[in-house]
Amino acid sequence: MNLFYEDVELGTSHTTPDHRITEADIADFCRLTRDHHPLHTDAEYARDAGFPGIIVHGLYGLSLMEGLKTELHLYDESSIASLGWDKVRFLKPLVAGDVIHVEMDFTAKRESKGRGIVTEAVRLLRGDEVVIDAEHVSLIRKRG
């Protein structure tokens, strides 16, 4: 699937395949971002803070939302830029072993200088439970 501005229908929903988070994923994100807070590296510290073990960085969860959404191939030939993430809420912690997926809906669209701006409601879910809720705005090409 490859959507251009004209193809986007408000209310349309898309769901990604599942993805399992691993301890190695969390460690890799720590290394890449230089965020080695003990909540993400020390299971005992995380347990003392009330979690079952080390937790996923909120920003890693947000990054996964974009990555999983990209695997849908909605904008392979039409994407110009991400204009930003708004209304981001980290609702529940994620831990290694959690299986997640993304659900997204098109909520708004408008033309801008010969291109299109599309707004998506995006949710990261563990089963039926929303873990991260956000809004994403994309700049995409029009046909022709």
Q: Which DSSP string corresponds to 73-134?
A: -SSTTTEEEEEEEEEEEE-S--BTT-EEEEEEEEEEEEEETTEEEEEEEEEEEETTEEEEEE
Q: Is residue 143 within 8 Å of residue 52, measured between CB atoms?
A: no
Across the chain, mean pLDDT equals 96
In the chain, the N- to C-terminal Cα span, in Å, equals: 17
Q: What is the pLDDT of residues 72-84, one digit of tens each?
A: 999 999 999 999 9
The CA-atom distances, in angstroms, between 2 and each of 33, 70, 72, 74 are 31, 11, 9, 5
The predicted model gives 13-22 an average pLDDT of: 97
Domains and CATH numbers, the chain: 5-140 (3.10.129.10)
The whole-angstrom separation of Cα 98 and Cα 95 is 6
Tokens of 45: 């510290």
Q: Report the alpha-carbon distance of residue 44 to residue 36 in Å, rounded.
A: 15
Q: Which residues pair with 117 in a beta bridge?
A: 110, 139
User: Is the predicted pLDDT of residue 1 greater than 90, yes or no?
Assistant: no
36: tokens are: 């080695």
Structure pTM?
0.93
For residue range 109-139, list pLDDT tens digits in order. Answer: 999 999 999 999 999 999 999 999 999 999 9
Determine contact, residues 52/98, Cβ cutoff 8 Å. no
